[in-house]
Amino acid sequence: MLSAILEQGVIVLPLLLGAYISLKLMKLPDFALESAFLSGAVFGYLFNSFPIGIIVCGSIFGGLLVGVTTLFLNQYLKIPYLLAAIATNGLFHGINQFVLKTAVVSFKVPLIFSEILLFITLSFFSIAVAYLVLRSKLGYALAIFGDNPEFFSHYQISSFYVMGSGLLLAHGLAGLSGCLFALSNGFIDLTMGFGVVLLCLTALMLGSCFFRNSSPNVLVPLSGVIVYFFLQQGILKFGFDLKYFNAVQALIFIFFLYLKNFNLNMAYRIGRV
């Protein structure tokens, strides 16, 4: 059970770190993470005859492309973020389909060391990058963006720079995670990105239960991913069919949202807010 949690955890962790930045800190309705996840795998696959380092860079580049596209639609064409993310998803679904030609493609790379070692190394790399960014001025600026996007104009801080940096980081990490996921499965499936935003939201909600501080904290996605996969494996132990797990995720998500609203209402009633 622990090894399953570890393997799945290290694969999903970069995605969750990215989701923490865009969904939780920047409070963007970032559906484009699904595209970044798939595009990371597809762009990694494009370099599959190269060494693993190039494949990893390719996957991050795939995620970055999705981030740049969403940013362009939102900032230059002034399309609201949710619509920009939906449009980006559509665009990249077509691009990825064009590249792969079929819905499922085998993706196996010969490695001179074990696969899990690669996954752990890249996850640690992701944590290190996220940790350094989140404790910096930029990390706090990302959190301020989610709190009050108007803030920057009053202090001559570039809102475009803050938003762009956050999106690129988030989507680059999602792309990396998509590549690890495909490598672990041994194939790329065009639908592999579906539902990853729900996974992220659920895991982040679980992680947020332990760390309520509004300052950026890499421990939120880290604890979220651990609790999430413990929960998943626990349910599996009871003989639950995992094909219904999306519904369980949605129920957990709804429960936490309700709890949050309930607590807020209570706080209003007793005059704490």
Site for other proteins in 214-233 (CB under 8 A): 214-215
* Structure tokens belonging to residue 225: 């991913």
Question: 1: number of CA atoms within 13 Å, CB side?
Answer: 11
Residues 133, 22: contact at Cβ < 8 Å? Answer: no
- Nearer to other proteins by Cβ, of 79 and 157: the residue is 157
Is residue 162 close enough to count as binding other proteins by CB under 8 A?
yes
Q: How far is the CB of 247 from other proteins (least distance, A)?
A: 32
Is residue 154 close enough to count as binding other proteins by CB under 8 A?
yes
- Nearer to other proteins by Cβ, of 39 and 208: the residue is 208
Q: Give me the helix-helix angle, 2-19 and 115-134, nearest 10°.
A: 40
- Nearer to other proteins by Cβ, of 29 and 149: the residue is 149
Residues 188, 45: contact at Cβ < 8 Å? Answer: yes
Distance CA 270, CA 268 (A): 6
How many angstroms separate the first and last alpha carbons of the chain?
A: 43
In this structure, the number of other CB atoms found within 10 A of the CB of residue 118 comes to: 18
Q: How far is the CB of 128 from other proteins (least distance, A)?
A: 13
Site for other proteins in 42-101 (CB under 8 A): none
Interaction mask 177-216, other proteins, x per CB under 8 A: -------------------------------------xx-
Is residue 135 close enough to count as binding other proteins by CB under 8 A?
yes
In this structure, the number of other CB atoms found within 10 A of the CB of residue 185 comes to: 16
Map residue 44 onto helix, strand or coil: helix
Q: Which stretch binds other proteins (CB under 8 A): 109-117, 145-153, 181-189, 217-225?
A: 145-153
The alpha carbons of the chain give a radius of gyration, in whole angstroms, of 19
Is residue 158 close enough to count as binding other proteins by CB under 8 A?
yes
Q: Binding residues for other proteins, per CB under 8 A?
A: 132-133, 135-138, 140-141, 143-144, 147-148, 150-151, 153-158, 161-162, 165, 214-215
